[in-house]
Amino acid sequence: MKIFFDARTVRRSMTGVGVYTRSLLKGLMHVDRENEYRCFILEEDAWENLSAPDNFQPYFGAPDYQHHPAGDIWMWFRLPGILRAEGADLFHGPAFLCPRCDSPPTVVTIHDLTVFAHPETYPVKFRKYMQWAIRRSVHGARSIIAVSGATQRDLNKLLNVPNDRVWIVWEAAGEQFQPQREADIQKFLQQKNLKQGYILAVGMIEPRKGIDNLVQAFRMLPVELQRKHPLVLIGDYGWKSDALNKLIEGEIREGGVRRISYVDAQELPLYYSGAAMLAYPSLYEGFGLPPLEAMASGTPVIVSNTSSMPEVVNDAGLLLSPGKPQRWATEIESLLTNESLRANLARHGRERSKHFSWDKAARDTLECYKATVKLH
Cα distances from 42 to residues 62, 133, 269, in angstroms, run 7, 21, 28
Helices (runs of H) and strands (runs of E) counted in the chain: 17, 13
- The pTM assigned to this predicted structure is 0.94
**Fold adopted by 182-353:** Rossmann fold (3.40.50)
Q: CB of 24 within 8 A of CB of 1? A: no
- Ordered DSSP codes for 100-130: --SSS-EEEEE---HHHHSGGGS-HHHHHHH
> Looking at residue 15, what is its pLDDT?
78
Q: Which spans in the chain are helix H?
A: 16-31, 44-48, 70-73, 79-85, 114-117, 124-140, 149-159, 182-191, 211-219, 223-228, 242-254, 268-273, 289-296, 309-313, 325-336, 339-353, 358-375
Taking 3-state DSSP, the helix, strand and coil percentages for the chain, each rounded to the nearest 5, stand at 50, 15, 35
Q: CB of 78 within 8 A of CB of 44? A: no
Is the N-terminal amide bond of 119 cis, ω within 30° of 0? Answer: no
**How far is Cα 371 from Cα 376, in angstroms, rounded to an integer?**
9
Do the bridges between strand 257-260 and strand 231-234 make them parallel or antiparallel, or are there none, so unpaired? parallel
Cα torsion angle, 28, 33, 35, 36, sign: positive
The Cβ of residue 321 has, within 10 Å, a number of other Cβ atoms equal to 11
Domain boundaries of the chain, sorted by first residue: 2-172+357-375, 182-353
As assigned by CATH, the class of the 2-172+357-375 domain is alpha beta
Per-residue pLDDT of the chain (376 residues), as tens digits, is 999 999 999 998 777 899 999 999 999 999 999 999 999 999 999 999 999 999 999 999 999 998 988 999 999 999 999 999 999 999 999 999 999 988 999 999 999 999 999 999 899 999 999 999 999 999 999 999 999 999 999 999 999 999 999 999 999 999 999 999 999 999 999 999 999 999 999 999 999 999 999 999 999 999 999 999 999 999 999 888 899 999 999 999 989 999 998 888 889 999 999 999 999 999 999 999 999 999 999 999 999 999 999 999 999 999 999 999 999 999 999 999 999 999 999 999 999 999 999 999 999 999 999 999 998 6
Residue 328 CA to its chain's centroid (Å): 23
Cα torsion angle, 219, 220, 226, 232, sign: negative
Nearest alpha-carbon partner for 192 in 136, 132, 263, 121: 263
Cα distances from 265 to residues 13, 111, 186, 283, in angstroms, run 10, 21, 18, 25
> Looking at residue 115, what is its pLDDT?
96
Q: Return the biggest CA–CA distance within the chain.
A: 67
> Looking at residue 16, what is its pLDDT?
84
**How far is Cα 255 from Cα 7, in angstroms, rounded to an integer?**
42
2-172+357-375 and 182-353 agree in CATH topology: yes
> Looking at residue 107, what is its pLDDT?
98
> Looking at residue 33, what is its pLDDT?
96
> Looking at residue 155, what is its pLDDT?
98
